[in-house]
Chains A and B, each alone.
Chain A
């Protein structure tokens, strides 16, 4: 299985990229920062090839299906989404310090997928419930949403760290973008995540209606995705209508990401219809 070999290597490339980003931030070396960007781009290419190869190999085994069907594949795709969203932000904001907060999340997702003994990287055929054209749309939109919230989580942490150092004593924190920029970025990432989470929940509902005859069953994963949606909806209303910003938005964003993580992993501990995500 070349795909899992490539993806294991990609895990370490993400790790290396994270080390470079953190190094460039701490030691203020632009050359290291450039290396970090290049490393991340290589990781993204490798990640994409790994996923593509997995798709091809599933056809070679004889039951071709999209590589988006279990926890291993979703984690690999999650890492890719985070890295791509981050690279776009780096390109737009011309600031690499955000990378020190975003690429470690991609690395952790890949490391969890590759190293956890509970997660199988074998290509399994699709069970009947997953055989649907909605699968790809549902998974891609959900994970783009999760990736947006993951980056928002990273920028929220940046905000909270930097805010504690109001007198700019720490040279490390002074290299982070201005508070207002981080705050705005968090808001944008939450909007991005919210849009895709909404589409993800909707495609899931339409799919559920065509597979089980009911667009909403209050299954734990559905319910938790709705809880996540409520939390970020609260954030957006507080911000747009009451002008909340800064710490309060950062805290809600951190809580929201906890809900995302629970929707993703924690729900597997509860009984329900989404059991193939384990």
Chain B
């Protein structure tokens, strides 16, 4: 199968190719396109096998010294931003530009012709041209034939010939531009990507609940970057399904400009906050190691062993209060983020209290694990500690931090435009074609019959066009019969 436009390279001037021409022809070649596409495909695999942008030490450990040095020299650890990958993309851009320009020069005249040119002999010579004899003179056939052709093709023209006429018709001439539209879209995407990498950034920041930040860190370099505004995390919450899988991460953020709150908005995954071209995305979260435990109020529950009567007190670390029912004093002594009980059981976060009973007995330490409120009850029941009260820590407000991805990418509008243009261009290229037909009707002298030739071709989807010509042929035969 050959293509109508395949010989465009051959249409260039025949004089001996100069330096410029040789470069032009190099970039105008489809071979280069195929080579570049396959090289891009092949090299892209590397970056999926070697994890990108990780810690050098872990690479060194995984690959050993020799491979590490080799990969490092070839930028394999950040290959999609490497000079050689960017070079391949640059070559692709030049290839697309030169190829498109080269072809537009030769096909532009066809595409933008005000009065399309037709060559009757080209239609006649086609092996799939169909002919039949109509039992009516040419002039009687013009109206019915023209009507049928008009129902299928947008543009048509009747030209007189010696013994009759020829109807030329076509549609979809502009669809030849589809490929250029697709190529333009690729350039838009790359331009958008370039814009983003020059004028945008990608960073992250962790904000503890209640805190305000105006500085983030860039993702790849870890450099700090000041935002033109500041963000406070008012609240973070996470909810879970019964299965234990997370259901929703939600942060309430307030934006400040020069210390003045501008607005407050909740963000969840898939629903970011956008302000002054900067986007804040919910990306992770974590629990604060209670560095502020000193200043926080803790709820302590005292439950009487005898009556089951329960008392609740709020207190801070190092505060001492009187026990209920005049049973001495209780001091909330300290907080331990991770506590191992009798060298055996890790209880996690615990508060240590000191209980001084009323009857001049010795003070005892009381262990109050945050996660296990019944711990002290067990201790007292087993007689490991004397006392009239079980003591436990009530709900300790967990303090979370929210992890935000912070990005700015002024290239996005270009990229999105590229997306739309690409889908449109591919639709045009794949679903439409430039179809041309000719119906030539010649009188056959005295017999009052006509010889009819139906022929057509398209720049794409040739089998479909053959079928279309067959349809047209059948309809014309039927119409000719009716006319007679």
Contact = CB atoms under 8 A, between A and B. Distances in A.
B245 A209 contact: no
A129 B269 contact: yes
B44 A227 contact: yes
Given A195-B427, A242-B6, A206 B416 contact: yes
A243 B49 CA distance: 35
Interface in B172-210: 193, 202
B372 to A, nearest CB: 29
Contacts of A181: 463
A237 B426 contact: no
A240 B462 CA distance: 12
A212 B404 CA distance: 10
B269 to A, nearest CB: 4
A125 B37 contact: no
A214 interface: yes
Contacts of B427: 195
B363 interface: no
B270 A210 contact: yes
A223 interface: yes
A213 B281 contact: yes
Given A213-B279, A218-B47, A234-B34, A125 B247 contact: yes
B256 interface: no
A124 B419 CA distance: 33
A212 B405 contact: yes
Contacts of B426: 194-195, 198
Contacts of A223: 44-45, 47-48
B178 to A, nearest CB: 11
A128 B248 contact: yes
A237 B35 CA distance: 11
B167 interface: no
A245 B41 CA distance: 21
Interface residues of A, number: 48
A131 B30 contact: no
Contacts of A240: 3, 460
Interface string B229-262: 0000000000001010111110000000000000
Contacts of A198: 422-423, 426
Contacts of A206: 416, 419
Given A223-B47, A224-B48, A243 B3 contact: yes
B40 interface: yes
A131 B281 contact: no
B38 interface: yes
A267 interface: yes
Interface string A234-251: 100110111101000000
Given A125-B241, A202-B422, A218-B47, A230 B40 contact: yes
Contacts of B52: 218
B221 interface: no
A189 to B, nearest CB: 12
B47 A215 contact: no
Interface string A170-212: 0000000000110010000001001100110010011001111
Contacts of A243: 1-3, 6
Interface string A115-146: 00000000011011101100000000000000
Contact of A212 (B37, B281, B412): B281
Interface string B125-168: 00000000000000000000000000000000000000000000
Interface in A253-268: 259, 267
A202 B37 contact: no
Which 7 residue pairs are nearest across A and B when measured between Cβ atoms?
A230-B41, A128-B269, A213-B407, A220-B48, A213-B281, A241-B30, A132-B270
10 contacts: A125-B247, A128-B249, A131-B270, A211-B269, A212-B283, A213-B407, A234-B38, A237-B37, A238-B34, A241-B3
Given A226-B41, A241-B6, 7 more contacts: A125-B247, A128-B247, A212-B281, A214-B202, A223-B47, A233-B37, A242-B34
Interface of A: 63, 124-125, 127-129, 131-132, 180-181, 184, 191, 194-195, 198-199, 202, 205-206, 209-216, 218, 220, 223-224, 226-227, 230-231, 233-234, 237-238, 240-243, 245, 259, 267, 270-271
